[in-house]
Amino acid sequence: LLYWTRSSKPKSTLESPLGNQYPRHSYAELLQATNGFSPANLIGGGRYSSVYKGVLNNGEQIVAVKVLNLQQRGAKKSFMFECEALRNIRHRNIIKIITSCS
């Protein structure tokens, strides 16, 4: 799982699998934030993943939660390329990766 937000600064600083200091959220928190990954919260999807709208911190933070379909061959490789590209791009219309969890 991977989620994004347009929030300016993270409130917590714990070690993330992405290697930098980012807030951590459990799968249970993301499940609750997206209402159980409800189809009503589905923003979009593709071959390798689906993206859901979620609300964290008692409605204070709207996030996009990307759920990878690891049963698809190439999903992990595609995810790694996407993370690398997003890590190196700065643009006002591209959202920032906040953290990841598995």
26 φ, ψ (degrees, to nearest 5): -80, 165
What secondary structure does DSSP assign to 31-74, as a single string?
A: HHHTTTT-GGGEEEE-SSEEEEEEEETTTTEEEEEEEE-TTSTT
Location of structure tokens 């595609």 = 78
* Residue 66 counted as an annotated binding residue: yes
Binding residues are 66
Binding residues for ATP are 66
